[in-house]
Structure 1
Amino acid sequence: MSRAQGELKTRKLDLLVVEPSTNFQYFAGYNPGRSERLILLMIPANGAPAIVCPSFEVERIKRNSTIGDARGWEEQEDPWLLVAKAAQQMKPVGRAGMVAIEPTTSYQSYLRLTSKLADWRPQDGAAVTERLRIIKSPEEIALIRQAIAATEASIAATFSQLAVGMTERDVAQLLSREMASRGSPGGGLVQFGPSSALPHGGPSAGQLTRETVVLIDAGSRVEGYTSDITRTIWFGDAPADEFKKVYNIVHDAQTAAIESAKPNVTQCQEVDRAARKVIRDAGYGQYFTHRLGHGMGMDGHEPPYMVEGNTSRLEPGIVFTDEPGIYQLGKFGVRIEDDCMMTPNGVEVLSHRPSKI
């Protein structure tokens, strides 16, 4: 909470408001979930934070969150009046307050908030939340490592149980059971053959045959932190020559991205360019149809994004995915995705990269 308040002061903001969301969980240690009843976390630049919630939720929120001040409103009351009262107590003296609104706040809540807090100036709170979450603490990294380990073990166990006639849905359910058995709930995409050429395809009722591609893109959670790993294999005897060629190009592209990244120097777009150049030079540029990767932590996809145009630099503590792919519609797709962390000495791959074929 002290980091959040420090960030507010740095940006000359007086208050951050957050509806139930991943950011709510990040700040309060708990996400009570959204409904038609207002729950709002209010973090002032100075003083103690508070949560406005239905009166019957006060005890639940106090028990589960790190915020001791939970202020309840009754069913027949307008909850925004309680928000306005709390904001007035948090408002700076002698000037208009600057309120940062968390980016997933609903439009209806935004309208009510700006109506009731007429003497406050609304600001986009995305810069505040992104700056705080983008650099992971050692405790966060430890949880991400655990999620990665559970995901890798679950994918391997799932591959070992593949059988002709299974559907993509069958395998997806098997994958989820493997994750649950390791105490790390999650799931993923499962794609066979031509379906693997759709970056976000499956799972469907398509059945598994021999001599085909199987792609699994999966993630699981440990105490709110996630992993994101993709593995592509050949199910059958010796892999087809074209599959081996494409797989090794994708592997080389992933390696190029890792080797290009230097702490506090390399821009996010530059790692995308490094991987894309390998695939383009091999003649498959038109088949790499998405960005190289994204940040990850409490959300499976979060800033920063490894994409052309993103000039932000990779700082130590940033965790991100490196996931180049080649997708040939009507044939097959290959994606290799590993989870990486920027350190003061360069990239550490947190997952276990597969070998070339």
Structure 2
Amino acid sequence: SGLLLALQDVLPDASWSTTSQVVGALRAVKDEAEIAALAAAAAAADRVAGALLAGEIPLVGRSEADVSGEIGARLVAEGHATVNFSIVASGPNAASPHHEAGSRRIGRAEVVVCDFGGTFHLGHDAGYCSDITRTVVTGEPGEELRELYEVLERAQSIAVAAAAPGVACEEVDGAGRRVIDAAGYGEHFVHRIGHGIGIEEHEDPYMVAGNTALIVPGNAFSVEPGIYLPGRFGARIEDIVVATSDGARALNRADHALHVVEA
């Protein structure tokens, strides 16, 4: 701070900005090598998500923390250098978007939301992040859950389609939110629809109401609508998306469907 004050004395007419303002804007636009690194990270996370959807990760009778640990171990086995987070939220805990996996044991006929990611190195890069959410159910879903999940799938798809260059970041949030609002679940979608991703799991640009910045080719961000019914259950779908000159391209390919996992 002393150096800055001295420079301001010497250059009284200069304007000053924090490095975060400059570097953040530069980091928000990924080049081809960075997009390739994000795609590799997404593919590795997809393989873990695929194991979850296929029932290869036992759920019923295990604690959320135990399942979280296995997901983290699988991320590392798939090439991640570090695990940044591994959310496993079951039953009523699934209604908490940022739940921390704990001692609760997963039961039958319960919704389980799994949101996980880490840092993946492709060659000698700085390490780029993955982030994916998939929702499963340990038994046949009831009609209410099926209908809610159909709304969620539609909201996520429409939000991704809206994420084209020249579109305001807030419109991606708005596109998905309008679908959820129209279905009567508006009050139960309680967070922004997405965040930028790169060498950190949360960075610019943020897909949130009030962010009028325009999407440009090379922006990479999550699209993750969720619906949460307090005390009952919740659901979320999340993919990482890259904006290209031809529109949005999802890097995650793991199935979106609500899988029944009776493990």
The TM-score bracket by the shorter chain reads 0.7 to 0.9
| Residue from 116, 119, 124 that aligns with 2:10 | 119
Matched, 1:140 2:34: yes
Determine the C-alpha separation between the residues in 1 that align with 2:4 and 2:252: 45
Query: Contact 2:159 / 2:176 at 8 angstroms: preserved in 1?
Result: yes
Question: SS of the residue aligned with 2:119?
Answer: strand
Query: Does 1:315 pair with 2:216?
Result: yes
How many angstroms apart in 2 are the aligned matches of 1:244 and 1:173?
29
Q: Which residue is 1:188 aligned to? A: 86
Partner of 1:206: 104
Structure-2 separation of matches of 1:279 and 1:205 = 32
**Hey, what does 1:43 align to over in structure 2?**
none
Pairing 1:41-60 to 2, within 5 Å after superposition: none
Q: 2:151 aligns with which of 249, 252, 258?
A: 249
Q: Deviations over 1:264-321 (max 9, x none)?
A: x210011111100000000000000011101101110101110111111111111111
> Are 1:302 and 2:203 counterparts?
yes
Structure 1 residue 245 displacement after superposition: 1.1
2:118 is paired with a residue whose SS is strand
TM superposition score normalised by structure 1: 0.65
Deviation (angstroms), 1:143? 0.9
Paired with 1:175 and 1:259, the residues of 2 have a C-alpha distance of 29
Name 1:339's counterpart in structure 2.
Answer: 240
Cα distance in 1 between the residues matched to 2:101 and 2:2: 40
Higher relative contact order (CA 8 A, sep 6+): 2
Residue 134 of structure 2 contacts residue 256 of structure 2 at CA under 8 Å; is this kept in 1? Answer: no
SS in 1 for 2:206: strand
Corresponding residue for residue 235 of structure 1: 138
Instruction: Give the Å deviation of 1:125.
Output: 2.2
Shift of 1:182: 1.7
Larger CA Rg, structure 1 vs 2: 1
Which residue is 2:261 aligned to? none
CA root-mean-square deviation: 1.7
SS at match of 1:148: helix
Gaps of 5+ in 1: 1-110
Quote the Cα distance in structure 1 between the aligned partners of 2:163 and 2:79. 33
TM-score, length-normalised on structure 2? 0.88
Specify the code of the residue in structure 2 equivalent to 1:129: V
Secondary structure (helix, strand or coil) at the match of 2:17 reads: strand
Secondary structure of 1:351's partner?
coil
Q: Deviations over 1:103-136 (max 9, x none)?
A: xxxxxxxx34435655366532222112211110
**Residue 132 of structure 2 is aligned to residue 225 of structure 1:** no
| Aligned-residue offset at 1:259 | 2.1
Please say if residues 150 and 220 of structure 1, whose CA atoms lie closer than 8 Å, have aligned partners that are also in contact.
no
State the identity as a percent: 38
Q: Which runs of 4+ in 1 moved over 6 A?
A: none
- 184-193 or 295-304, larger mean C-alpha shift: 184-193
Aligned to 1:162: 58
Instruction: For 1:248, give the aligned amino acid.
Output: E
Q: Structure 2 CA distance, aligned partners of 1:198 and 1:178?
A: 24
CA contact (8 A) 2:172 2:207 kept: yes
Letter in 1 for 2:100: G
Matched, 1:197 2:121: no
Aligned length: 245
Whether contact under 8 Å (2:92, 2:233) holds in the other structure is yes
Gaps of 5+ in 2: 122-126, 259-263
* Aligned-partner Cα distance in 1 for 2:251–2:59: 30
